[in-house]
Amino acid sequence: MVSALIITLRETLEAALVVGIILAYLNKVVSPKAKKFVWQGVLVGVIFSALVAFLFATYFGGFVGKSEELYEGVTMLVAAGLLTWMILWMMKQRNSIKKNIEAKVDAHVSKNYYFGLFLLSFVAVVREGVETVIFLQGARIQAEAEGVQVLMGALLGIFVAIVISYILFKGIAKIPLRKFFTFTTVLLILFAAGLVAHGVHEFQEAGVLATYNEHLWDLNSILNEKSGLGEFLKHLFGYNANPSFEEVVVYFAYLIGMWAVSWRIVRA
């Protein structure tokens, strides 16, 4: 599934860049023995993230009726909230993240506090890992997809991110990361807008939110959301061929709000 691929590609690459900055700086200060603590942090972070994914898949879900609609609505809004925070945080940190990480690494190495390096890499991996679990759950609900489809898309995204990271850090080829992150940021903002709109839809289905106009329009005869291009757009951006008035309002309100906040951050 495309949305799962983009999510894991972006999140894995972000974690890989943090770890890469740590390792590169350790090479610069000639502290190779400290690298093992970094890799231990990565390994434990991956294991912890996999455990969270297992617990999430095992103990969350299985609801029926109104409980299912409320669970799905809350999940999608939480995922959209975390995704929004991640996007804005990356925008604010993009010009200083390397400097900040190197300062932390330098402080740990100068004090021979190698456990700090372990925590630095562990937190980087776990943060992206837990976020990914929640984002993928939201993507699965939004696309009404099977878990296997989401898993395949997620694994493919991780594989592509690892390949890109290897090429980047080995200096095999130059990769325009700024353009890549700008492009994926736009896609993730559209994806988050779809999550917010779908979350509102679930709350309306549960009877928690009132519905002014159940179907503002119906484009299924032109672009059906269950096949072809319509299905692709639903998976990626939360396309709904017959949305309610409230869904359309929150969708565009989110996009306008994100544009305004992003513009202020970039301008600053």
pLDDT of the chain along its 268 residues, tens only? Answer: 678 888 888 889 888 888 888 888 888 776 667 888 999 999 999 999 999 888 887 777 666 677 888 888 888 899 999 999 988 888 887 777 888 888 888 888 888 888 888 999 999 999 888 888 888 888 777 766 666 777 888 888 889 888 888 888 777 667 777 788 888 888 889 989 999 998 998 898 888 888 888 888 888 888 887 777 887 888 777 788 888 899 999 999 999 999 999 888 877 7
CA distance 157 to 10: 8
pLDDT attached to residue 250:
94
CA distance 114 to 37: 7
Q: Which domain holds residue 32?
A: 2-267
pLDDT attached to residue 251:
93
Burial class (CB in 10 A: 0-12, 13-18, 19+), 134: buried
Q: Are 140 and 147 in contact (CB under 8 A)?
A: yes
Residue type, 225: E
CA distance 48 to 82: 19
Q: Are 220 and 162 in contact (CB under 8 A)?
A: no
pLDDT attached to residue 131:
87
Q: Helix axis angle, 2-28 relative to 35-59, nearest 10°?
A: 160
Asked whether the whole model's pTM tops 0.75, one would answer yes
| Closest residue by Cα to residue 92 from 224, 247, 265, 209 | 265
CA distance 69 to 229: 26
pLDDT attached to residue 145:
62
Provide the domain count of the chain. 1
pLDDT attached to residue 144:
67
